[in-house]
Structure 1
Amino acid sequence: MEGKVALVTGAAGGIGAAVAGELCRRGVAVAAVDCDADRLSWTVGKLVADGARAEAFSVDVASRAQVEAAVAAVEDRLGPLDFLVNSAGVLRMGEVRDLTDQDWAETFAVNATGVFLMSRAVAARMTGRRSGAIVTVASNAADTARTQMAAYAASKAAATMFTKCLGLEVARYGIRCNLVAPGSTDTPMLVGMGVNGDEEKTSIIDGIPKDYKVGIPLRKLALPSDVADAVVFLLSDHAAHITMHSLTVDGGATLGG
């Protein structure tokens, strides 16, 4: 992968930052994209200090104009994109009866429309070069019903099927499109769900019967690096004959479903 160029959204922290870091360690030049400019600058600063070739791009992935301008700038400054990782995501918790129009719209704007806009902009350039790989970080909630997560689960389901359809359309150009579907991962998003300490983490691992949620058979939460490793595998030549596939990384929480 050395010498390749990647764009990673949601790169300021969590899974996106882990993906950016792992790609940098493999010699990939990384365009780190996020709407949190301050946190992104800090994350990229650490990568650069470690000798990586990485640049920060403050972008709202839900804005077509910002996305298209960013993709053009990335290719102008770093070179033609070989990889795209859609990792930006937001979570709005609440039962459907309590979700606001804004909750729904903001969730889909980032988790679904953002994937569409960024993938469209990058794929349009990749097709002319007849090469490239795209990975979307979805969720095991895309296929498994969860209480208080209707907007998030629906948006991830949309991103999942979009990515597979895109993969079908661009396969003739040699471009692969895959997904990684994490379960509960030790990130700031999990903290946002109210999982703040050991007791809450244990309950996730043990399962929550009242919410119809089984536990995690491997008896641990995923680390961002666990998900990043799966993403990098699907981008790499080790996955050269894999496309339109969703790789679940949840310690068995969805029982292989």
Structure 2
Amino acid sequence: MSQPLNTVALVTGAGQGIGAAVARGLAVDGARVVVTDRSAADAESVAAAIGGPAVARALDVTDRDAVLEVVAGIEADVGPIGILVNAAGVLVPGPAVETDDETWDRTFAVNATGVFSVSRAVARCMTPRGAGSIVTIASNSAGVPRTGMAAYGASKAASASFTRSLGLELAPHGIRCNVVAPGSTDTAMLRDLFAGDPDAERRTIAGDLQSFKPGIPLGRIATADDIADAVRFLVSDRARHITMHDLYVDGGATLRG
């Protein structure tokens, strides 16, 4: 049985979706969770629902000065950060040749550079202590091409590669860095993609030859808790010998291609 986490866990993008599920799960496991989100109201709502020692902080991961300030504040006011989960992310679907510069830049600013900025700041705190766990929520589109998701997949591939390289560099300091790669998950982001298309969920599960998707062998869309459970395992002592791993949680949708 896993030991209680008994540490401070910083979760970005925790105002909704996967990030919120991760925050709730880590709190159940005994972590003092710091719920961060660009929306202060969303972060406060999730932290209030968790209760106990959970606290909320507004954080835009694209603001490097804010990242440094928030991390320093957590270290001073809440305690040493032992867990970081990079869950902040954005998705603006569209064909690659129709993607404008602003969309590309924003996608990378949040999904890749944001992961870099927050991970760097937290890793600098963890390194002298010789312990810590960092998990980045990427996507199965980082490893398998998806139509309409060139920018998103590229940004998630960058964040996954960065996290695994970081894990190699931080391993001598006792810090583990892993990636969780979800597939289609029931969140506001997915519901936005499905909006106005009553057949979208069925096609996603069954597969869609026109978009070159093989479907989901397990026959269901993931819940946010499915992804959070993978994160909870990776940051626990049950995964103490796992680092630089990229764990696909997609019901077999990529056929691990």
The question of a shared fold, defined as TM-score above 0.5 by the shorter chain, is answered with yes
Provide the C-alpha distance between the structure 1 equivalents of 2:104 and 2:135, rounded to a whole number of angstroms.
Answer: 24
Would the alpha carbon gap of residues 196 and 58 (structure 1) be closer, same or farther in structure 2, given more than 3 Å must change? farther
Map 1:93-242; keep pairs closer than 5 Å: 93-195=93-195, 199-242=199-242
What residue ranges of structure 1 are gaps of 5+ in the alignment? Answer: none
Q: CA RMSD in A?
A: 1.1
Give the aligned partner of residue 4 of structure 1. Answer: 7
Provide the C-alpha distance between the structure 2 equivalents of 1:45 and 1:86, rounded to a whole number of angstroms.
Answer: 21
Structure 2 letter corresponding to 1:43? V
Give the aligned partner of residue 18 of structure 1. Answer: 21
Quote the offset at 1:198 in angstroms: 5.8
Quote the offset at 1:41 in angstroms: 1.6
TM-score of the pair, normalised by structure 2: 0.96
What residue ranges of structure 2 are gaps of 5+ in the alignment? Answer: none
CA deviation map 1:150-203 (0-9, x unaligned): 000000000010001100001000000000000000001101212567632111
TM-score of the pair, normalised by structure 1: 0.96
Counting aligned pairs with the same residue, the percent is: 52
Provide the C-alpha distance between the structure 2 equivalents of 1:187 and 1:125, rounded to a whole number of angstroms.
Answer: 32
Quick check: 1:195–1:201 contact (8 Å CA) kept in 2? Answer: no
Residue 79 of structure 1: SS of its match in structure 2? coil
Provide the C-alpha distance between the structure 1 equivalents of 2:40 and 2:83, rounded to a whole number of angstroms.
Answer: 22
Residue 83 of structure 1: SS of its match in structure 2? strand
Provide the C-alpha distance between the structure 2 equivalents of 1:23 and 1:152, rounded to a whole number of angstroms.
Answer: 27
1:57 aligns with 2:57: yes
Q: 2:33 aligns with which of 19, 23, 30?
A: 30
Quote the offset at 1:208 in angstroms: 1.1
1:44 aligns with 2:47: yes
Give the aligned partner of residue 245 of structure 2. Answer: 245
Quote the offset at 1:2 in angstroms: 3.7
Provide the C-alpha distance between the structure 2 equivalents of 1:131 and 1:241, rounded to a whole number of angstroms.
Answer: 13
Would the alpha carbon gap of residues 31 and 196 (structure 1) be closer, same or farther in structure 2, given more than 3 Å must change? farther
Quick check: 2:194–2:201 contact (8 Å CA) kept in 1? Answer: no
